[in-house]
Structure 1
Amino acid sequence: ACGDVVAVMDCDLQHPPQTLIEMYRLWQEGYEVIEGVKADRGKEGFLHKECAGFFYDIMSKATKVNMKDASDFKMMDRKAVDSILSMPERNMFFRATSSWVGYKTTSVEFEVQEREAGVSKWSPWSLVKYAFTNIVAFTTFPLQFVTITGAICFICSLVLMVYSLVQYFTGSAVEGYTTLLMVLLLVGSAMMISLGIIGYYISKIYEEVKRRPRYIISKVIKNGSIQD
């Protein structure tokens, strides 16, 4: 798309085309990213709605972008489109990236329409795979989770070590059990923490490889005039 403003929508017409008129008017008012927000999820089964809600909760916490009722239905100014296209990363999570680039943003609610043809291909398992793929593509949170788990294991191991030593000095411990337990706890905690440190370095390498810009220039003021 090469126009001054670009709309993105699904081809099954669940995104109502008439909403584009309202989006376009907001773009004319100066908004550069107009998000389509679902007023409801339409006629979906209870299980599907719960799985979708759980998926977006995970995505919101992992990506630090509010993904509740998010959709791919958007209208974007040319600047926002060019900013997204300029990113060299290949595995891109579009819904989160369109918010990450910034720019003046607003939203429009829309009612999810009935499909013109076909049925939804999304199953609970496909939602899980979709969530995992996009979390990995957009954030290093899973790698940081290993560090947190290692710290928790280390604290738990210290508590168990104190308990084992008390048992040993009171004569309640089985011979050799205390030493074996302490060694296993220390080695296990050290391995988890070491994996967390390695994961931290990998996350930094991952961020460097994606080569995202540190910031995006929205406007340039030159000789008193503003240039986009």
Structure 2
Amino acid sequence: MIKLATVSPCYNEEPVLEDSVKKLTEFFDGLVAKGKISKDSMMVFVNDGSKDQTWDIIRKMHNENHYVKGISLAHNSGHQNAIMAGMMVAKDWADAVITIDADLQDDINAIEQMIDDFEEGYDIVYGVKVSRTADPLLKRMSAEAFYKLQDRMGVKSVFNHADFRLMSKRALEMLAEYDERNLYLRGLIPLIGLPSSTVDDTISERQAGKSKYTLRKMLGLALDGITSFSIKPIYNIIYMGILFLLVCVGIAIYVIHALIAGTAVHGWASLMLSVWFVGGVMLISIGVIGVYIGKIYIEVKHRPLYNIAEILGDEE
């Protein structure tokens, strides 16, 4: 029987939090009755600088529900950093930690299979989405493109897996050794290399509120993942430069032939198009290089990923 902790990052989750705690409490009670988890298991909610009553609700639930523990970050640190904060604190409280978003769109029934796999010796169990019909069409399409882009760019990750996963204490101790500022857990955790498995995860509709992962944030996360784990974009720029060089050689041959044949027509259109095209390519290239330099700039500062202002449940 294991001591389990779920970790849920919370940013303005006031509309769903009480209902989520109720559902998880019923589920935990069922697992305790089955002998799957110990009665001192817990659900840890990480307040990521919410502007609504999220932390007040977590504090209230902590006083009323023995499962509930809370962590309040000093400011909004971002989804990935909030998950990391929760895991690093919870690893000292539990034998295994499951990360799941506070809206419970992930299938909580898959948690039982995660526990079974953990008991069989797997240190990491990924929840893989097998159905996203509850998500809007645009989100489904952008998510598919997100995973395919990562794969093409050489980022090692689990396809259709977000941040619903189980990690053992051993895996979390190893994760703590990765001292990265540009945190992208979906690419970082597979690098640990411990035995892993997957379980099916069917996404359900969000009961209230709205998703915090907008298309802009999804694109930002994809950019973080690619630039933090792959140098393929730089090589692609080199290949593009070689292609342009070959094209230029071809154009030079054509121009020389036209001059000899006396068919060359002077005009500004081709010149202007060339200037704008080459200028655009140069700007894109400089931008990609700038992203990598920016990553180096952030890494060498070694600023903390998060600052914890208060912890509920650390009385022992």
Please state which band the TM-score falls in when normalised by the shorter chain.
0.7 to 0.9
When residues 20 and 101 of structure 1 are mapped into structure 2, their CA distance, relative to the original with a 3 A threshold, is same
Whichever structure has more strand as a proportion of its residues is 2
Correspondences of 1:1-228 after superposition (within 5 Å) = 1=90, 2=92, 3-174=94-265, 206=296
The answer to whether the 8 A contact 1:60-1:67 is kept is: no
Number of aligned residue pairs: 197
Question: What fraction of aligned residue pairs are identical, expressed as a percent?
Answer: 24
Q: What TM-score do the two structures reach when normalised by structure 2?
A: 0.54
Query: Could you list the runs of 5+ residues in structure 1 that have no partner in the other structure?
Result: 211-228
Query: Could you list the runs of 5+ residues in structure 2 that have no partner in the other structure?
Result: 1-89, 301-316
2:225 alignment partner AA = N
Distance in 2 between residues matched to 1:163 and 1:8, nearest whole Å = 61
Distance in 1 between residues matched to 2:239 and 2:197, nearest whole Å = 36
The answer to whether the 8 A contact 1:6-1:76 is kept is: yes
Q: Which moved more, 1:113-122 or 1:23-32?
A: 113-122
Instruction: After the TM superposition, list the runs of 4 or more consecutive aligned residues in structure 1 that deviate by more than 4 angstroms.
Output: none
**Can you list the C-alpha shifts for 1:164-204, whole angstroms capped at 9, x where unaligned?**
121122222258x9xxx8xx99xx6xx96xx79x95xx78x
The answer to whether the 8 A contact 1:59-1:67 is kept is: no
Deviation of 1:97 (Å): 0.9
2:209 alignment partner AA = G
Distance in 1 between residues matched to 2:265 and 2:204, nearest whole Å = 68
| CA RMSD across the alignment | 3.3
When residues 165 and 67 of structure 1 are mapped into structure 2, their CA distance, relative to the original with a 3 A threshold, is farther
The answer to whether the 8 A contact 1:71-1:95 is kept is: yes
Q: What TM-score do the two structures reach when normalised by structure 1?
A: 0.72
